[in-house]
Amino acid sequence: MTAAMPIPIDRDEVLRLVADEAAQLVEVLPEAEYADEHIAGATSIPLEELNERAPRLLDRGRPVIVYCYDYQ
Amino acid sequence: VYDYVAGKADWGSLGLPLEGHAGTETRAGAHLRTDVPTCRFDECLEGVRHRVEEAGWDTCFVVDEGGVVIGRLGRSALRDDPSPGVEEAMTPAPSTVRPSARLEAMVARMRDRDLTNLPVTTPDGRLRGLLTRGDAERALARGRSN
């Protein structure tokens, strides 16, 4: 089975999902970049570790929003 | 799973909170004077001049109905421009920076260009406030001493 493709969303939808559905923000950049700056409240899970760490760190019952630096 | 495709660059550019070594406190958006006066382009200059002076300012931003900056009335325009209206006296399309701009870079920019302040807007041009050189230098000094 393959994972579903993430659904692209904009900033307003991020704000709505966090406020209304307690969405979990996940920065998938390397940890050094997360340490430098990250969206307040986000969790760091570098992309290459996502499959291994996500099940342990994230709540399956809440939406997950992944992000990078910009449109990359 | 959702993908916030515009990422943290977009988030920071709006002045939304960032954490980390280079978090919100190191950015222009956290040190703004948000009470900087604004006016509309079709106002009478004399009325704006009085309002700005009473508020203790020597600059005023000209904004449209959506709060987007379209011009600026500087010290000389407010002091002695003979034009009757704001539109004739304003400097159109002033240079602006984003709330996510790093304080260190903004201080260097103001020093290099001999500026006393920088207007800060969102990417779509809405005024967030004014970053003064004094405020930015003090915040930078505090950050270095912590």
Is A60 touching B (CB cutoff 8 A)?
A: no
Is A58 touching B (CB cutoff 8 A)?
A: no
Instruction: State the complex-level ipTM.
Output: 0.92
Q: Which residues of chain B have pLDDT under 70?
A: none
Question: In the prediction, which pLDDT does A24 show?
Answer: 98
Is A32 touching B (CB cutoff 8 A)?
A: no
Structure pTM?
0.81
| Averaged pLDDT score across all residues of chain A | 92
pLDDT tens, residue by residue, B32-53: 999 999 999 999 999 999 999 9
Question: In the prediction, which pLDDT does B87 show?
Answer: 95
Whether the per-residue pLDDT at A3 is higher than 80: the answer is: no
DSSP state of B118: E
- Confidence category of residue A1, pLDDT binned at 50, 70, 90: very low
Find the mean pLDDT for residues A9-13.
96
Of chain B residues 3-22, which have a CB less than 8 A from chain A? 3-12, 14, 16-22
Distance, CA of B136 to CA of A34 (rounded, Å)? 25
Q: Are B40 and B59 in contact (CB under 8 A)?
A: no
Contact at CB, B21 and A67, closer than 8 angstroms: no
Is A8 touching B (CB cutoff 8 A)?
A: yes
Whether the per-residue pLDDT at A70 is higher than 90: the answer is: no
Phi, then psi, of A16 in degrees rounded to 5: -70, -45
Could you say which of B6, B18, B23 has the minimum Cβ distance to residue A71? B6
Question: In the prediction, which pLDDT does A72 show?
Answer: 66
Q: Which residues contact B100 (CB under 8 A, 6 or more apart)?
A: B9, B12, B13, B15, B18, B27, B28, B29
Is A64 touching B (CB cutoff 8 A)?
A: yes
Question: In the prediction, which pLDDT does B81 show?
Answer: 82
Is A59 touching B (CB cutoff 8 A)?
A: no
Q: Are A38 and B16 in contact (CB under 8 A)?
A: no
**A and B: number of Cβ contacts within 8 A:** 95
Beta bridge partners of B60: B73
